[in-house]
């Protein structure tokens, strides 16, 4: 497994095991298989587990990883989790962040997180009041969220903090450029630049390439997410979705990508992961796998090494 620079948090494996798959977000799994997948990932050299309370019923991803790490402690492995801040926040931002952190630590069974991420998107800096789901205003982020993250770092409860950089580009770019900057940012990195159902800004361009460059320019480590675009860049969607669902729409749009993968002798999922791993400036790519078989496919893709510049161009085209 390739080991890469992870900014202020040290070094990290090129692949990170995500909590969505083992939490059952991307199709069915069970606790025993989730635990076995965590063990297999660590054995393969993966050094970070990316979790969230919202990944699975009753914070299943955190509970599964907690069980896996109690069975086989792995102190060298970094663990992340996230805090969502709802639009109807009652004003006690610091209290909510702290309560979420303590609950996550209890489920995982650790005394600190290596990375704690804001799991809420940012509105543009010039539009504080626009009613957009799962978004918070710029002043709330700068004046309440960031100081609390910094306090938790000073208290030793987290080693670093970050953002899910899928908000309005104006707000995200400002967060990456204005000190104190996050330690890491989760950025959509996939072959067709698909954000799917997590993009609430309509026709506003996502600017993921610009976000990635801004993170690199300001010392913010990039965690690549949505490598297979919520399943749209795989051979088949493994959950029932109506045709109008964004992932189903993207799956249909991605048919040329699947044909290109076949021409290159790759499965679509393998090629999608190799693409994300080959994008310059990405520290690690989060896997959405839900079992050991899917994990093995991704590990094999990483082992084949990066794509050539010509292959990257062909995929983008």
pLDDT at 285: 98
Do residues 15 and 302 lie in contact, with contact meaning Cβ atoms separated by under 8 Å?
yes
Looking at residue 130, its pLDDT comes to 58
Kindly tell me if the per-residue pLDDT of 199 is higher than 70. yes
pLDDT at residue 3 above 80?
yes
CATH of the domain at 236: 3.20.20.100
Cite the beta strand spans of the chain per DSSP E. Answer: 3-5, 11-13, 15-18, 48-50, 78-83, 115-118, 121-122, 135-136, 161-164, 184-188, 221-225, 284-287
Q: Which segment of 130-139, 222-231, 232-241 scores lowest on mean pLDDT?
A: 130-139
DSSP per residue, 204-216: S---HHHHHHHHH
Domain total of the chain: 1
pLDDT digits (tens, 9 = 90+) for 39-75: 999 999 999 999 999 999 999 999 999 999 999 999 9
pLDDT at 230 > cutoff 90: no
Considering only residues 249 and 285, tell me which one the structure prediction assigns the higher pLDDT: 285
Which tens digits make up the pLDDT trace of 118-159? 999 898 877 656 556 567 888 889 999 999 999 999 999 999
Whole-number Å distance between alpha carbons of 26 and 308: 30
Say how far residue 217 (Cα) sits from the centre of its chain: 20
Q: What pTM was estimated for this model as a whole?
A: 0.94
The pLDDT value given to residue 226: 94
Summarize the confidence of residues 176-195 as an average pLDDT. 93
Q: Which domain holds residue 160?
A: 3-316
Q: Which element (helix H / strand E) includes 275? A: helix 268-278
Decide if 45 contacts 284 (C-beta within 8 A).
no
d(CA 24, CA 22) in angstroms, rounded, equals 5
Pairing relation of β-strands 115-118 and 161-164?
Answer: parallel
Residue-wise pLDDT tens digits, 256-278: 999 999 999 999 999 999 999 99
Using 50, 70 and 90 to split pLDDT, how confident is the model at 287? Answer: very high
As a whole number of angstroms, the distance between CA 310 and CA 317 comes to 11
pLDDT at res. 127: 63
- Per the prediction, the chain carries an average pLDDT of 92
Of residues 295, 220, 297, the one with CA closest to residue 6:
220
Residue 229 near residue 192 (C-beta atoms within 8 A): yes
Assess whether pLDDT exceeds 90 at residue 243: no
Q: Residue 74: what pLDDT? A: 97
Find how far residue 120's CA is from the centre of its chain.
Answer: 12
Yes or no: say if 185 and 163 are a contact pair by the CB < 8 Å rule. Answer: yes
pLDDT, position 89 = 52
Q: What is the pLDDT of residue 246?
A: 85
């Amino acid at each position: 497994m390739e080991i890469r620079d992870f900014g202020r948090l040290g070094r990290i494996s090129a692949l990170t095991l995500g909590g969505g798959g083992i939490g059952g977000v991307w199709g069915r799994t069970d606790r025993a298989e989730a635990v076995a997948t965590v063990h297999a990932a660590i054995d393969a050299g993966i050094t970070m587990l990316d979790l969230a309370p919202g990944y699975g019923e009753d914070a299943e991803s955190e509970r599964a990883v907690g069980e896996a790490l109690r069975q086989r402690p792995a102190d060298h492995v970094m663990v992340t989790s996230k805090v969502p801040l709802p639009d109807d926040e009652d004003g006690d931002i610091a209290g909510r962040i702290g309560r979420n952190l303590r609950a996550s630590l209890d489920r995982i069974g650790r005394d600190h997180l290596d990375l704690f991420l804001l799991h809420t998107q940012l509105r543009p800096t010039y539009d504080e009041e626009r009613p957009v789901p799962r978004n918070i205003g710029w002043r709330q982020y700068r004046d309440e969220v960031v100081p609390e993250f910094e306090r938790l770092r000073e208290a030793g409860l987290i080693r670093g903090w970050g953002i899910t950089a899928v908000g309005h580009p104006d707000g995200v770019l400002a967060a990456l450029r204005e000190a104190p900057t996050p330690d890491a940012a989760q950025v959509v990195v996939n072959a067709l630049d698909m954000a799917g159902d997590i993009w609430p800004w309509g026709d506003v361009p996502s600017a993921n390439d610009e976000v990635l460059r801004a993170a690199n320019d300001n010392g913010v480590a990039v965690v690549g997410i949505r490598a297979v675009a919520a399943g749209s860049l795989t051979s088949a969607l493994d959950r029932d979705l109506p045709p109008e669902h964004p992932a189903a729409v993207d799956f249909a749009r991605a048919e040329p990508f699947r044909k290109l993968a076949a021409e290159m002798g790759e499965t679509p999922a393998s090629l999608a992961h190799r693409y994300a791993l080959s994008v310059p400036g990405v520290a690690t790519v989060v896997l959405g796998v839900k079992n050991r078989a899917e994990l093995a496919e991704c590990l094999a893709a990483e082992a084949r090494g990066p794509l050539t510049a010509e292959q990257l161009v062909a995929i983008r085209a």
